[in-house]
Structure 1
Amino acid sequence: MTGGRFDFDPGAVTALLAEASRTLIMPKFGRLADDEIRSKSSPADLVTEVDVTVEAFLRDRLRALAPDAVFVGEEAAAADPAIVAAVEGAGSAWILDPLDGTRNFVKGVREFATILAYVEDGRAVAGWIYACPDDFAATAVRGEGALIDGAPPPAGGPAAEPPQGMRSISWLAEEWRERLLANLQDGVVTRSGHCSAYAYLKLIRGEVDFKLSSRIHPWDHVAGALMLEEVGGAAAYIDKGAHGEPFMPADSADRPLLATAPGRDWRAIADILLNGPPASDVEMAEKDRDDADG
């Protein structure tokens, strides 16, 4: 992967993320003291001393690589939400989630990662996901494709029937949540997910058909959405209809964001989520249940 118009080597960024994982994150996995964990916006919204330490470590080193870039870290934004606005302006910005999947990290679940994106003039141009427990990086530079552990992602299989995906919709308004849950139960197969990074890795590999998210922040989605775009996937909002509204790097909102794997029909999945499966599919599912009961 080349640097293009960058003044830094994207490979050097990957090396920094690997260093943070090996020296700051993994040594604390399963070894956190109670006083190193606290809540932010809710009891389920956790932050640890590892989040804070990793953000500070990477902030200083990324600033050395690109001194003119604004730095937007998740923990810095929690203290000052106004800094997110810098992402949509002119110039460049780093967007960092030092430890995505903090809840998994605390509970001993081996799905957590560092997510980083580089934005120029409001547009994502590079992204990294460092999968800490598995010790590899997924990377993308706009126009150059995406790599997983240095190689193009494997071609995923065909879409499942019905579509299979992941969901995290608890932050939506009740009306939207009930509507989507009803259609999720009827038309698709889903499981909940607590790590955006690993969801995007599954999407890029074609292991799931889609991910439906609800609490949207730049540090969770910019890098993954760029990677999907580079391999033929898509990410857009469905609350304005099945035509979709593009996800933008500065977005922070509680809205239903649908990301789909390469080769999947974004509009078809959006239509199922919004309106339920076609009548013929429902009738077939009911017939299958009746046959099983008989």
Structure 2
Amino acid sequence: MIIDPYKVEAIIAEIAEEEISSRFGVLKDSDVSTKSGPNDFVTAADQAAEERLERALKDLYPAASFIGEEAAAEDPELVNRLEHERGAFWIVDPLDGTRNFVQKREEFGSIVALIENGETRQGWIYAIPEKAFATGSLGDGVTWQNEQLGPVSKTGDVPVGYRSIGSLAPQWQDKLVPALRDKFETGPARCSAYAYINLVQGLRDFALYSRVHPWDHAAGVMMLNELGGRVAYLDDLSPYRPQMTVGRPLLGAGNTSNWERIRAALS
């Protein structure tokens, strides 16, 4: 099933404005807490936005189950449903880049994906400060601010990318960290929403991740694939699937030639 992408955009934008933008820069101490560690923030904005997105998206497609980042933090077994159950799922990160949001950095967004029988059918990435969408539907390509995007160009002499490698297994740390330092220009991936927005526009060449949550990646991976790119694990070259992995290196690029060139340099 393909949902009207503009209806979903309208839902995301309205909720982001009312629950997230309205709180930016004015959070109270009581509005902020942590989950897995001192830098893993959750705020009143995350929670309120997720609750409203769940209601609105279920109304739009009642047959689809809902898996949100905050609900999964409370019940990690929710993520396992993606591997073991068929059917449709809304996968939602209501506020990606929460640490940026808390620290008043204007780089945060909302990410929504619609998955059916293990395949990402549609994705929406909303850059909240810019009020701008990257939107993709399987077989229909990708738009940025309602303009159709074309294939991503090849890299220059020195590929430029993002890294989020703090959770790599030790054998991959030893192998990949020196290669990233010596052969590429990289910066930290502080917000998956902005990383994928820049990848689909060709503003960055690649991203390398080590802790992969479906709500951070399903929408963006589908968009890169629609543009002729590739996202796959370096340990066995298997393509990305909407699931949770930790320790394995996941490499994404908007151009298959770029992906192969970067993989070869890393190995």
Taking the aligned partners of 2:201 and 2:120, their CA distance within structure 1 comes to 21
Per the alignment, residue 250 of structure 2 pairs with 257
Q: Residues of 1 paired with 2:181 and 2:246: CA distance?
A: 25
Task: Report the 3-state secondary structure (helix = DSSP H, G, I; strand = E; otherwise coil) of the residue aligned with 2:200.
Answer: helix
Structure 2 counterpart of 1:182, one-letter code: P
Separation in structure 1 between the aligned mates of residue 174 and residue 246 of structure 2, nearest angstrom: 19
- Aligned-pair distance for 1:15? 0.3
Normalized against structure 1, the TM-score is what? 0.87
Q: 2:86 matched to 1:86?
A: no
Offset of residue 253 of structure 1: 2.9
Q: Give the 4+ runs in structure 1 shifted more than 4 A.
A: 154-157
Tell me, yes or no, if the aligned pair for 1:99 and 1:113 is still in contact at 8 Å: yes
Distance in 2 of aligned mates of 1:86 and 1:155: 33
User: Does the aligned pair in 2 maintain the 1:156–1:207 contact within 8 Å?
Assistant: no
2:146 is the alignment partner of 1:150: yes
Amino acid at match of 1:250: Q
2-structure distance, mates of 1:249, 1:155 = 23
| Aligned counterparts of 1:227 and 1:53: Cα–Cα separation in 2 | 27
Distance 1:51 1:19 in 2: 14
**Matches of 1:102 and 1:145 in 2, distance apart?**
29
Partner in structure 2 of residue 248 of structure 1: 241
Deviation at 1:40, TM superposition (A): 0.8
AA matched with 1:175? Q
Q: Are 2:264 and 1:271 aligned?
A: yes
Q: 3-state SS of the aligned residue for 1:118?
A: strand
Q: What is the match of residue 16 of structure 2?
A: 21
- Structure 1: unaligned runs, 5 residues or longer: 275-294
Structure 2: which amino acid aligns with 1:132? I
Partner of 1:277: none
* 1:47 aligned partner: 42
Query: SS of the residue aligned with 1:146?
Result: strand
**Shift of residue 32, structure 1, vs aligned partner:** 0.8
For residue 265 of structure 1, give the secondary structure of its aligned residue in structure 2.
helix
State the Cα distance separating 1:117 from its structure 2 match.
0.3
2:217 paired residue number = 221
Alpha-carbon contact 1:122-1:250 (below 8 Å) kept: no
How many residues align? The count is 266
Deviation at 1:190, TM superposition (A): 0.7
Deviations 1:96-150 (A, max 9, x none): 0000011111111111110000011111000000110000111111000011111
Pair member with larger Rg: 1
Q: Tell me the amino acid that sits aligned with residue 239 of structure 2.
A: P
Q: Is the 8 A contact 2:153 2:255 kept in 1?
A: no
Q: Which of 144, 158, 164 is residue 160 of structure 2 equivalent to?
A: 164
What secondary structure sits across from 1:51 in the alignment? helix
- Structure 2: distance between partners of 1:257 and 1:79: 25
Once the two structures are overlaid, the 10-residue window that deviates more, 247-256 or 88-97, is 247-256
Q: Distance in 1 between matches of 2:225 and 2:206?
A: 14
Across the aligned residues of Structure 1 and Structure 2, the Cα RMSD in angstroms comes to: 1.4
Take 1:91 and 1:157, find their aligned partners in 2: how far apart are those partners?
35
Residues 25-57 of structure 1: CA deviation (Å, up to 9, x unaligned): 111111111121111111111111111110001
Using the TM superposition, give the Cα deviation of residue 157 of structure 1 relative to its aligned residue in structure 2, in angstroms.
Answer: 4.8
Q: Could you tell me which runs of 5 or more consecutive residues in structure 2 were left unpaired when the two chains were aligned.
A: none
1:207-245 CA-to-partner distances (Å, cap 9, x unmatched) read: 1110011110100000000000111111111122xxx21
Amino acid at match of 2:66: F
Hey, what's the Cα distance between the residues in 2 that align with 1:252 and 1:117? 18
Distance 2:263 2:194 in 1: 21
Secondary structure of the equivalent of 1:172? coil
- Percent identity of the aligned residues? 42
Query: Is the CA contact 1:204–1:233 (under 8 Å) kept in the aligned structure 2?
Result: no
CA distance in 2, matches of 1:144, 1:81: 33
Q: Partner residue of 1:286?
A: none
- Higher mean alpha-carbon deviation, 202-211 vs 156-165, is at 156-165
